[in-house]
């Protein structure tokens, strides 16, 4: 079963790889990728220093561009943060929506594949730090918190709701409160991403956390799926 899931994961990720293109001149390529470099630098600084303490000039310096260059592409720091989220998380949610529509296996296997893919693509990458960042700074920047809720949290919740309803319609799940179950399914992922970018950086030896993150997430999901399964 796991081999089958890994093959499906490989097929999905391979579809995302860009096709090769003709070489372009050095200056042209540099100009095209500059906004991406700014976003990469901003992500690293937001996760490391926090949104409040990161300045536009810090982002420019980390990206290797002049102080004024970020303003050629983005209005302000908030605009950069929104671009980071849209380019890295919202686009992935769109690809997950396609996965949900195309997947032909069981709903339990679909949840396993989604969990594994999200951890590999987001959780164990610098993107996982955005979760901890939003928990820490939501009250300081309510407009950004609402943006993140509307473009990441709510679409993620609705997608999980769709998968749960799919499982119920197919007779795979029994669920009296899909909204609550969807929140329960996301909790281990949120905890693991937040721990990795906070306590995980300073607590290097915790015997009760010896299980690798992905194995912990798989264990948590299996426990929940056993509770969702219909009884014969």
pLDDT in tens, 147-183: 999 999 999 999 999 999 999 999 999 988 999 999 9
Q: What is the pLDDT of residue 207?
A: 73
Residue 3 reports pLDDT greater than 50: no
User: Which of 219, 88, 89, 100 has its CA nearest to residue 160?
Assistant: 100
Tokens 């009250």 identify what position?
139
Mean pLDDT in residue range 94-104: 96
* Confidence band, pLDDT 50/70/90 cuts, at residue 228: confident
User: Which of 27, 43, 34, 36 has its CA nearest to residue 66?
Assistant: 34
Q: How far is 170 from 114, CA to CA, in rounded Å?
A: 19
The backbone region for 171, taken as left when phi is positive above 0, alpha when psi lies in -120 to 50, beta otherwise, is left
Q: What is the pLDDT of residue 14?
A: 47
| Residue range 2-10+78-228, CATH number | 1.10.357.10
Mean pLDDT across the chain, nearest whole number? Answer: 86
**0.85 cut: is pTM over it?**
no
Per domain, the residue ranges of the chain are 2-10+78-228
């Amino acid at each position: 079963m796991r081999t089958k899931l890994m093959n499906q994961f490989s097929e999905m990720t391979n579809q995302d790889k860009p096709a090769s293109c003709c070489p372009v001149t050095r200056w042209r390529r540099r100009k095209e990728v500059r906004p991406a470099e700014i976003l990469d630098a901003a992500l690293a600084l937001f996760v490391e220093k926090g949104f409040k303490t990161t300045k536009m000039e810090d982002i420019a310096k980390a990206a290797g561009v002049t102080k004024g260059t970020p303003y050629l592409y983005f209005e302000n720091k908030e605009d950069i943060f929104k671009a980071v989220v849209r380019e890295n998380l919202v686009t992935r949610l769109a690809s997950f929506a396609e996965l949900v529509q195309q997947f032909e296996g069981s709903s339990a296997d679909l949840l396993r594949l989604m969990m594994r893919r999200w951890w590999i693509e987001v959780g164990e990458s610098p993107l996982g730090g955005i979760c901890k960042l939003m928990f820490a700074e939501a009250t300081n920047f309510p407009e950004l918190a609402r943006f993140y809720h509307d473009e990441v949290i709510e679409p993620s919740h609705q997608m999980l709701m769709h998968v749960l309803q799919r499982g119920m319609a197919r007779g795979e799940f029994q669920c009296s409160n899909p909204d609550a179950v969807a929140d329960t399914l996301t909790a281990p992922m949120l905890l693991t991403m937040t721990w990795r970018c906070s306590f995980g950086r300073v607590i290097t030896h915790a015997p009760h956390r010896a299980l690798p993150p992905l194995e912990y997430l798989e264990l948590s999901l299996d426990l929940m799926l056993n509770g969702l399964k219909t009884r014969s």
